[in-house]
């Protein structure tokens, strides 16, 4: 027997409220927010913290680094730069991400700066606009994959890089994890980062007054398909090594992770991101790379 319309009118909002409260209770919408502009594209909003699913903690300081307050120590301070490989994202606890893991194995203080789908150009824009960071860093480590040698990524989607928390948690979770009702349509004109040449920007970074003379290491990190086929790693990833090297600067070095005997296709969570175990291995490689993986 069908419910009378009046009962249905009462029941449906009640069901929605219950679902909404249930989704909020799971912690699925306790994620980091982003700022977006036409200079850098997007970046994690400064000074925020939370716990995705009430278990995967995350934190960003006032400089959008995935760490506590930026207070360089008297020891070695390392800036770790990258995209989602460094960021880790919602599936990882803060302690399991690459920055904290590298800090444990290296005994240096590691400051990670990253954002999902950033290209090398986004990273260099951040560095160029934060000389106060460069001045207080002793060495720089970039983790780059074959998708990073493109134009800068611009903001274009609330689903992947939300700028505010959703009015309805239930709707957001359905949109993101079940069915994409309103697909993102592309970059907004006023948020588009102008084109540039990462090769020239790398040279400018190396020559910066607060970088010159300091160690700069580029670690070329393979996708799972590239880790399974050296020819792909060579043609898609290592081909960029020559443009990263600075012939007159011995402090700049380029390494290929796929050539390290410790690395394996079994260390991936998906087609590109490392598992927690893979992150530990990657940190060990960065801290102490095998002989023979440096590209010259």
Q: What is the pLDDT of residue 119?
A: 98
What SS3 class is residue 203? helix
Burial of 247 (0-12, 13-18, 19+ CB in 10 A): exposed
Both tokens of 37, joined, read 């502009």
Identify the H or E element spanning 6: helix 5-26
Buried b / exposed e over 224-243, threshold 16 CB at 10 Å, is bebbeeeebbeebbbebbee
Lowest mean pLDDT among 15-19, 57-61, 63-67, 99-103: 15-19
Fold of 31-154+192-295: Rossmann fold (3.40.50)
Could you tell me how far CA 8 lies from the centroid of its own chain? 46
Q: For residue 9, is pLDDT > 80?
A: no
> Residue 43: enclosing H or E segment and its boundaries?
strand 41-44
Give me the percent of the chain exceeding a pLDDT of 90. Answer: 84
Handedness of CA 286, 293, 119, 276 (dihedral sign): negative
For 240-253, how does the pLDDT look when each residue is reduced to its tens digit (9 = 90+)? 999 999 766 889 99
Angle, alpha carbons 86-252-144 (nearest 5°): 25
pLDDT above 60: residue 77: yes
Work out the average pLDDT over 222-234.
Answer: 98
pLDDT of residue 8: 66
Answer for the pair 152, 125: CB distance below 8 angstroms, yes or no.
yes
Q: How far apart are CA 26 and CA 295, in angstroms?
A: 46
pLDDT, mean of residues 106-133 = 98
Q: What is the pLDDT of residue 1?
A: 47
pLDDT tens sequence across 190-199: 999 999 999 9
Compute, in degrees rounded to 10, the torsion defined by CA atoms 47, 154, 218, 221.
100
Is the pLDDT score of 53 beyond 50?
yes
Cα–Cα dist 221/1, whole Å: 61
Over residues 225-230, the mean pLDDT reads: 98
Q: CA distances (Å), 68 to each of 47, 60, 99, 110, 203, in order? A: 9, 7, 12, 11, 30
Residue 162's pLDDT is 95
Q: Is the separation of the CB atoms in 159 and 176 below 8 Å?
A: yes
- pLDDT for 3 equals 53
Q: Give yes or no for residue 2 having a pLDDT over 70.
A: no
């Amino acid at each position: 027997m069908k419910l009378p319309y009046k009962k249905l009118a009462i029941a449906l909002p009640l069901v929605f409220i219950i679902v909404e409260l249930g989704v909020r209770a799971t912690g699925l919408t306790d994620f980091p927010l982003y700022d977006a502009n036409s200079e850098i594209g997007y970046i994690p909003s400064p000074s925020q913290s939370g716990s995705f699913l009430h278990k995967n903690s995350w934190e960003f300081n006032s400089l959008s680094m995935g760490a506590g307050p930026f207070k360089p120590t008297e020891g070695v301070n390392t800036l770790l730069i990258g995209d989602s490989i460094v960021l880790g994202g919602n599936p990882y606890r803060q302690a399991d991400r690459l920055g904290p893991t590298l800090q444990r194995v290296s005994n240096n203080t590691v400051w990670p700066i990253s954002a999902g789908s950033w290209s090398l150009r986004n990273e260099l824009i951040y560095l160029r606009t934060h000389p106060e960071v460069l001045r207080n860093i002793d060495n720089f480590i970039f983790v780059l994959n074959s998708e990073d040698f493109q134009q800068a990524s611009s903001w274009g989607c609330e689903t992947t890089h939300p700028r505010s928390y959703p009015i309805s948690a239930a709707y957001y979770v359905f949109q993101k994890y079940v069915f994409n009702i309103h697909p993102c349509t592309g970059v907004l004109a006023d948020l588009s980062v102008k084109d540039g040449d990462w090769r020239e920007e790398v040279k400018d970074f190396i020559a910066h007054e607060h970088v010159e003379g300091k160690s700069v290491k580029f670690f070329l990190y393979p996708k799972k398909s590239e880790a399974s086929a050296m020819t792909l790693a060579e043609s898609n990833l290592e081909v960029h090594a020559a443009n990263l090297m600075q012939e007159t600067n011995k402090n700049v070095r380029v390494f290929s992770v796929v050539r390290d005997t410790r690395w394996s296709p079994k260390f991936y969570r998906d087609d590109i991101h490392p598992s927690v175990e893979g992150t530990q291995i990657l940190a060990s490689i960065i801290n102490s790379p095998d002989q023979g993986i440096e590209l010259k």
